[in-house]
Amino acid sequence: MFLLRGLKSSIIIAPWRSAVRTLKVAVVGAGGGIGQPLSLLIRRCPGVDELALHDLSETKGIAADLSHVSQRGKVVGFTGEEGLEPALTAADVVVVAAGMPRLPGMQRDDLMAANGRVAIKVATAVSKASPGALLAFITNPINMIVPTAAAVLKAHGNYDPRRLFGVTTLDVVRSKKFIGDSMNISPDEVTIPVIGGHAGITILPLISQCQPVFKGGSKETQSLTHRIQEAGTEVVNAKAGKGSATLSMAFAGAHFVGSLLRGLGGQEGVVECAFVASELTNAPFLVSPLELGRDGIQRYLPLPQMSDSEKGALEKLLPILRQNAEEGIQFAKNYLKEKSASPVPAALP
């Protein structure tokens, strides 16, 4: 039986009872709609000795504001492209919320054109300033951003697949909420793995593996699955073109960072789903359950059991993930060719 441990707000807003080593967390995009609440929630994570905030616009005010929170540790703001490497220097965890939000009718290629460059710049800066950091991307489109970052890290000789993550925790958060509401129970009582990718039909909540057992029929299961897959569009439409999911994403992102910190601190049994390099299927990157530890991914857990319909859905999404990975890697190759007269290393993934 698969259990997704945690995902309760107490991880974010209440102190841990066990001691953890002090760590530095850097938030890239700290001034944005996700970045500010994300930084606040991370500020409340015990064990964070330094919180570095970076954005292209001024972050000193945000840093000063957060420095008044009654929590141990310091908060430092960094601004502009010249401030990126100093912000990331000696970071243990780098979480990236920078980039353009998805707007109504926006095509994936349009979003990638803007945000792919963000991923490349951050991955390059991490390679120089904090090569041992755990690097977690919130920036969309995750299905392409993570392969892009992997290619850049590999080109710089700093690619460790156990340290690179696409944060898909919001899909789990939404699944727990929607299923909990449907079953008239607290979302905190729900555990469910969500595998695949982080867009549309690539998001695959395994409702057959939900605990407590979901007793709805196939029609209700299909309806819930569709809502989880299209929940991002639901928020984009509700905001009438003025943004995408920010607060719920900050909540989910802070939870994932909290889990990374618990793993770094030596806590055992920390399990999350995330988009990572994978050998579980024929897609090179996949959301799957992972056990986190001192080096990032401590153990790749096997895919949970699936119903026949879920197996069919997985087969349909894998070609999309393969194509997304190829496009992300090609994006990185093209960018690196533009920026350098020297050949792009043949060893790109």
Residue in 176, 144, 181, 206 with CA at minimum distance from that of residue 330? 144
Catalytic entry in 54, 68, 156, 198: 198
CB 93 within 8 A of CB 22: no
Distance CA 32, CA 27 (A): 11
Rounded (10°) angle between helices 142-155 and 108-129: 30
- Based on the number of CB atoms within 10 Å of its own CB, is 94 exposed (0-12), middle (13-18) or buried (19 or more)? buried
- The backbone torsions φ and ψ at residue 3, rounded to the nearest 5 degrees and listed phi first, read -125, 125
Which runs of consecutive H residues, i.e. helices, occur in the chain?
10-13, 35-43, 60-67, 84-88, 108-129, 142-155, 169-183, 218-229, 231-238, 247-264, 308-339
Known catalytic residue at 54? no
- Give the active site residues: 198
